[in-house]
Each structure stands twice: as C-alpha cells, then as structure tokens.
Amino acid sequence: MLRSVDELMCPSLVGQHIAIDCKSVRGSHDGKQSAIHLVSEWSSASGLTLGQVQTADKGNEITAIPELLATLDVKGAIITIDAMDCQRGIAAEIVAGGADYVLAVKDNQPGPAEAVKLWFDAADGGKMDRPFWDDIQTEKDHGRMETRRCLVTNDVAWLGQHDQN
C-alpha cells in the first residue's frame, strides 16, 4: 500500500510525547551579535526534532511556540512545556489542536503556584477530595539513591479559581 510522504515523515502523534523547549546555541554570539535562540518540538518516541524556529531573543519563544504548534497535527499527543512558556494562550492552542499538555508552574505565576502547592499539601495530608494517581520509583543512579514521585490528576477545574497572572 502506498503511503503519502507526510505519513512517512511524521506518523500519527496520538499518544506520543512532544517536548517544546528553547535553547541558546553555545558559542553563537560574538559580542556584537547575541546568541542564537531556537525553539524546538522534540519527539521523545522517535528521538527526532519535529520542528524548529529561531527567535530574535530568548523572550520571543512565547510567540514562536504557536508558530511551531501550527506545523504539526498534534491531535492526541501530550505536549510538555517549561514554566517560562506556561501561558493561557499556548495552552488554549494545544487544546484547540486536540492535544493534552503538561505545563510547569513556578513562582513567576503566584496564583497557580500557590494553588498547586496547596494541592500537593492536601495530597500528602490525605485530605484530597479529587481523584489522583501517585507513583514512587526509587533507584540507585549516579552513585546515590534517587527517589522520583509523580502525582497526577486530570481534574484541574480548581486551578481556574486562582489568579492566572
């Protein structure tokens, strides 16, 4: 059966993890010219960069992400983005594309950050009134014991009640 070039180059992303991140290219500045900043879409499953956009500076990655998202059919994928790019507009574009997302929240967004801290406190204290999954993995790595804990919920309606800054 013949398949289109698009199918061969980028198969369905349903259930796939796509990481979006910005990196500065080391050694790409010379004093007069600032470093090159690239925003990339990375497929964890295939180990390939699916798309990449150069930005004028590090702060412009927020505007580059929607441009990158438009290059893929992200329906059914899981998109991860770091805290700097945790923006309502970006989340809305991901949802509009039919994908799910995992966005980091840090203290640069005090309302959501406080809500997440309270959520973790409730989960740790056994006072959670919402469904969540908890997984802990411990392994010896790099000469030390490492423990990773993952708490997950798909019920985040409570987050909308907090200041979105």
Question: pLDDT tens for residues 40-92?
Answer: 999 888 888 888 988 876 667 888 888 888 888 899 999 998 877 778 888 89
**Is the whole-model pTM more than 0.85?**
no
Top-confidence residue, 4 or 24: 24
Question: pLDDT tens for residues 10-25?
Answer: 567 888 899 998 888 8
Instruction: Please say if the pLDDT value at position 110 is more than 60.
Output: yes
Lowest mean pLDDT among 122-126, 131-135, 156-160: 156-160
Q: Of 2-6, 45-49, 130-134, which has the strongest mean pLDDT? A: 45-49
Q: Of 9-18, 21-30, 98-107, which has the strongest mean pLDDT? A: 98-107
Q: Residues in the chain, how many?
A: 165
3-class SS letters over 13-53: CCCCEEEEEEEECCCCCCCCCCCCEEEEEEECCCCEEEEEE
Q: What is the mean pLDDT of the chain?
A: 81
